[in-house]
Amino acid sequence: MPKRDQSNIEGIESSAKSKAYWRNAEHEKGSDATKNWTEDEFPHRGSLLDIDRRDFVKLLGASTIMAGLVGCRSLPTERIVSYSKQPEGQVPGISQFYASCFTMGGYAYGILVESREGRPGKIEGSPIHPATLGSSNHWMQASLYDMYDPDRTKAVFKQNTPNSWDEFMHDVRKKLDRNPGESLRILTGTVTSPTLIRQITRLIELHPGVRWHQYEPFNDDNSMAGANQAFGVTCQPVYDFAKANVVVSFDSDFLFSGPAHVRHAQEFSAKRNLASTESSMSRHYAFYSNATPSSLSADHRWPMQPSKVGNVAFAILDVIKGNPASGEHAKEIAAIVADLQANRGKSIVVAGEQMPAEFHAAVFAINQALGNIGQTMRMVERITAGDESQRTSITSLATDMMTGKVKSLLILGTNVCLTAPNSTNFKEALKKVDWTAYLGTHMDDTMRSCSWQLPESHSLESWGDARAFDGTATLQQPLIRPLYDSRSSIEVVDLFLRNSRSGRELLQETYASSLGTNGEKAWDQWLHDGIVPGFESKTLAVTASGIVAESTSMAGDIEAVILPDPNVFDGRFSNNAWLQELPKPISQLAWDNAVHVSPATAKTLGVADEELVEVTVGGKSVRGPIFGIPGMADGTVVLHMGYGRTEGGTIASGTSASMPDVRNKMADVATLGFDVSPVWNGESLAGPAQITKIGGKYGLVSTQIHHLMMPGDEEKTPLIVRSGTLEEFHSNPSLVAEHEHKFPDDQTFYSFTDEEGEGQPYKWGMSIDLSLCIGCNACTIACQAENNIPTVGKEQMSRGRELHWIRVDRYSSGNQENPDDFVFQPVPCMHCENAPCEPVCPVAATTHSKEGLNQMVYNRCVGTRYCSNNCPYKVRRFNFLNFGDKVDKPSLILLNNPDVTVRGRGVMEKCTYCVQRINKARIDAKKEDRTIGGDEVVTACQAACPSKAIVFGNLADPKSQVSKQHKNSRNYMLLKELNTRPRTTYLGKVRNVNPVITPTKTEEHGSH
């Protein structure tokens, strides 16, 4: 084979003059750490050698014998278990999809759940549900794991001894009979469920002593109060980003959090899809403190302390009112206001939930002044139950408990001991209550402290309902009977109403009045759709008053912000291995939380990544490792809730045998991450903070430098990211940098023939639009759910052995401390037509299909790992330790997709373009005597992607969406100079910058 020396290729040198992109600071500098990581075959090998000589010899001998013996076994006779009576309509081997509901923070997301012979499988967004429009997020995907979680509570316990539902029911009845007016408190999370609201209202009618409290740590108290201030009535906003030409966000992660974020991401990206140079694109200005998918994907970013974000909003309101801009950022503010006013009624100004109420009122006033209310956003009736602020509610409950006013307390699924404000001292207060009952899925902090410990059914195994962000009533239809002796919250409340009806009956009772005359038929239709029509919240004709009180948020040298963890949220997903192992957006950390500061702040404090610090807020402190995030605001520290758990399952508490972190533990603490509850006072903006270095380190795992595609040597930086401003895109539609070498399309290094590929009806290909990707990682976890990808644990992950088939790389350019540009690049297997992995396989386990797929045949692979070594994109994953083996956790075996092989130890694996879906489509098409539609096959990552950045289809069909994308002028091949001819290509990133604002030099930009 002719030599394929990269240095021979003209153009590598010259491409270096284009905009340089890097993964992290070390990478950019080409430091030893990065070099070691990329050049060492076994990074962090130290622990591998922590084995003594005798054990080594023993293992060596044993493995030699065992290796010979594994071949000699006779396979057991398999059994076929037939039905006694086959369920009607079910065909073995054919999946059915049912509409159901995933609820988070009380709000509904409509989902479609695959039923494989009666077992819930893959979850997708429901295309007709307004909150998802067919897409999903990582929580929806991962909720399947929660269902099969082996650590779930499985039976009723009373004070840690086994008991029964019957006993519980007797106890409840005895209680209510003896003293019907007894003070019973019910504590829930945020509730929108019409059924639960109806039941609790009825209970309060029957027993005047009952009071209902709602509490979740991250709620909409502030925006509700803000709306109340602005409009004078209780209402909440619904945005339509598909109509917004200009978006200004104030510390708002509208694309990644909140009940409508999946829809927001779709609408936002629909406005930014540049099919050609004629297409228009919306513009997003972000003033923010925390680096999030929304803030870093903005066209203009101004990182600043949270207290200053508020000032900017007030300044903008001032300028809109006609006052001249002044103070910091005066020039930019004037330009933004001009842009907003040019797009009156076609813009959105949006504030983060954690911002103070006055500030939300100011933002509503801005929208009112711009004529946006009624156009791009509308105010609707409150969807959540009750009208009390959740912080007030939990505080009054805790006070009453402390003073002995509360005789009994029923908690429904909110782990309040972990999340209540520290001032309430909830755990202590709980001890003062005589009778406590907790319904939950895991033995968590709160369940441990309650007397009745009741197992809660997962949403996929129980009936329920909830309303979406716009009020749409969504039915939660179970796919399976409860795996354990568990009940749902509506069934438990029904016990208090002296009934014991099924969830289905309870739902039908709620909607009886809507059912009308042809009841059964309407009900079936609702179940089919997952939606009960007629519950959409009414739009209110309201006007925001322009008068707003100035905000009084506390400023400090360093301001602390406490937020839910992007993956495990407030701890409710702590025992979910999929979410723990998923790299968090931006930080790319897995399995831990950290003290996040900007690199400049870290430098000022004299601390480096992984060094332990003490963060003191309001006299209380927590300890944790530092992790710098470029793009974050200076003088801000972000802490994430949900870690440092001692209860809640083996994964949550870090005690699972499969993931010991033997390298280093945080001082004397053996948990994963650290608990922020000591400094949690119920407000995300926690106020001024001090950070002091305390010495010592805690090992963190961030995948930011895993699978580097290029040396950390700027001179040889090959083409990874193409980007430009909208103006540059108009003048240079391909976004090729001026000095970049133009590689001819037909360049070859050795003669390979493509003739076999010609004339094929199908040429599968993918296109990923970097302008649309927001780096949310929904694709990674959707792939994990579809393709039986096991988790490997923190220790193995620290060696770069994670098995995710699609990763999302984060690149930055310019100034290291506040880079000019962030690009998120999802990287699955490229399915190169001229794949470098194929010729190096000694056993032909990886070959090329006639339709252009780079096939990996697991049963043929002998694990030489040559292919992975030769893959320039680093997309091949090696199963080092039989990670897929779940014999010790049988319930997790049910998670597996029966259409995909469960790979064993010593086998290479990688993205297959969801070949099981292609094969299914091919067989269906053949049976119907037609060809597969160009867009018919949808990969798991594509289906999940909320911003529709990933497109898959048939390149041989010129009408397919992917063909059109490949013909887009922004289309480029990753590492094209290697002539691998990848089938997965990218569309260059375009930023719609305001020409009035853009500084010409990067230095100026970095000074903010």
Partner 1 sequence: MPQIFKSGANTTVKICLLALGFLPVAVFGGGSLISRSPANTNVEVPLNQPVPFSHKHHVMELGIDCRFCHVSVEDSKHASVPPSETCMTCHAQIWTNSPLLEPVRKSYAEGTPIIWNKLNKVPEFVYFDHSIHIDRGINCNTCHGPVQEMHITFKGKNLSMSWCLECHREPEKYIRDQAPGKNISPQEQVFQLYRNLQAHKEESLSDLDKDLVNGEALMTKKEDIEGGEKLLEKYKINKKQLMDCWVCHR
Q: Is 82 in the site for partner 1 (CB under 8 A)?
A: yes
Residue 919 interacts with partner 1 (CB under 8 A): yes or no = yes
At its nearest, how many Å lie between partner 1 and the CB of residue 379? 50
Residues 6+ apart with CB under 8 A from 773: 297, 808, 824, 825, 826, 947, 949
Name which of 8 and 82 has its Cβ closer to partner 1: 82
DSSP 154-189: -S-EETTEE--HHHHHHHHHHHHHH-TT--EEEEES
893 CB-side CA count, 13 A: 6
Among 900, 961, 964, 1002, binds partner 1 (CB under 8 A): 900
Identity (one letter) of the amino acid at 1006?
Answer: G
Using an 8 Å Cβ cutoff, are 991 and 299 in contact? yes
Q: Of 743-762, which residues contact partner 1 (CB under 8 A)?
A: 756, 760-761
Rounded to whole angstroms, the Cα distance separating 234 from 362 reads 16
Minimum CB–partner distance for residue 351 and partner 1 (Å): 47
Q: Interface with partner 1 by CB under 8 A: which range of 74-82, 338-346, 385-393, 872-880? A: 74-82
- Residue 233, classed as helix, strand or coil, is coil
208 lies in the site for partner 1, by CB under 8 A: no
Look at residues 643, 634, 664, 667 and name the one whose alpha carbon lies nearest to residue 589: 643
Residue whose pair of structure tokens reads 């990996």 in the numeric block: 856
Residue of 97, 435, 484, 858 that binds partner 1 (CB under 8 A): 858
* 73 lines the binding site for partner 1 (CB under 8 A): no
Cα–Cα distance measured from residue 277 to residue 284, given in angstroms and rounded to the nearest whole number: 19
How far apart, in Å, do the first and last CA atoms of the chain sit?
Answer: 53
521: contact with partner 1 by CB under 8 A: no
Q: Which residues contact 301 (CB under 8 A, 6 or more apart)?
A: 286, 288, 295, 631
Does 431 sit near partner 1 (CB under 8 A)? no
> What whole-number distance in Å separates Cα of residue 650 and Cα of residue 654?
6
Q: Which of 79, 178, 481, 742 binds partner 1 (CB under 8 A)?
A: 79
894 binds partner 1 (CB under 8 A): no
Q: Which of 543, 847, 870, 961 binds partner 1 (CB under 8 A)?
A: 847
Output 655 or 847, the one with its CB closest to partner 1: 847
Q: Exactly one of 92, 322, 516, 695 binds partner 1 (CB under 8 A); which one?
A: 92
Least distance to partner 1, CB of residue 845, Å: 9
For residue 240, the Cα-to-chain-centroid distance in whole angstroms is 22
User: Measured from the CB atom, is 204 or 857 closer to partner 1?
Assistant: 857
Binding mask 308-327 for partner 1 (x = CB under 8 A): --------------------
C-alpha neighbours within 13 Å on the C-beta side of residue 123: 27
Name which of 92 and 516 has its Cβ closer to partner 1. 92
Q: Is residue 96 involved in binding partner 1 (CB under 8 A)?
A: no
State the nearest-atom distance from the C-beta of 85 to partner 1, in Å: 5
Q: Which residue has the tokens 């240095």?
A: 7
Task: Indicate which single residue of 670, 893, 923, 996 sits in contact with partner 1 (rule: CB under 8 A).
Answer: 923
Least spacing, CB of residue 123 vs partner 1, in Å: 21
Tell me whether residue 93 or residue 322 sits nearer to partner 1 (CB atom): 93
Q: Map the footprint of partner 1 across residues 254-283, applying CB under 8 A.
A: none
Q: Is 853 in the site for partner 1 (CB under 8 A)?
A: yes
Residue 920 CB contacts under 8 Å (≥ 6 apart), including other chains: 899
* Candidate ranges 283-291, 306-314, 347-355, 916-924; the one touching partner 1 (CB under 8 A): 916-924
Q: Which residues contact 874 (CB under 8 A, 6 or more apart)?
A: 707, 708, 709, 827, 868
Pick from 8, 84, 159, 513: which binds partner 1 (CB under 8 A)?
84
- Cβ of residue 144: shortest distance to partner 1, in angstroms? 21
H or E segment at 144? helix 138-148
Closer of 89 and 162 to partner 1 (Cβ): 89
Q: Rule CB under 8 A: is residue 97 a binding residue for partner 1?
A: no
**Site membership for partner 1, residue 862 (CB under 8 A):** no
Q: Is 604 exposed, middle or buried (0-12, 13-18, 19+ CB in 10 A)?
A: middle
Asked if residue 70 binds partner 1 (CB under 8 A), the reply is no
Say if strands 377-381 and 235-239 run parallel, antiparallel, or are unpaired: antiparallel
Any contact of residue 969 with partner 1 (CB under 8 A)? no
State the angle between helix axes of 357-369 and 221-231 in degrees (0 to 180), rounded to the nearest 10.
50
Is residue 183 within 8 Å of residue 408, measured between CB atoms? yes
Mapped onto helix, strand or coil, the DSSP state of residue 452 is strand
Quick check: 77 binds partner 1 (CB under 8 A)?
yes
Amino acid at 701: V
Q: Residues touching partner 1: how many (CB under 8 A)?
A: 37
Helices (H), 500-545: 503-510, 512-515, 519-529
Supply the DSSP symbol for 752: -
Q: Is 481 in the site for partner 1 (CB under 8 A)?
A: no
Residue 81 touches partner 1, criterion: CB under 8 A: yes
For the bound state, the minimum distance from the C-beta of residue 850 to partner 1, rounded and expressed in Å, comes to 5
Binding residue (CB under 8 A) for partner 1 from 242, 857, 881, 894: 857
Indicate whether 525 belongs to the interface with partner 1 (CB under 8 A).
no
Please report, as ranges, the residues that interact with partner 1 according to CB under 8 A. Answer: 77-86, 91-94, 756, 760-761, 847, 849-851, 853, 855, 857-859, 899-902, 912, 915-916, 919, 923, 926-927
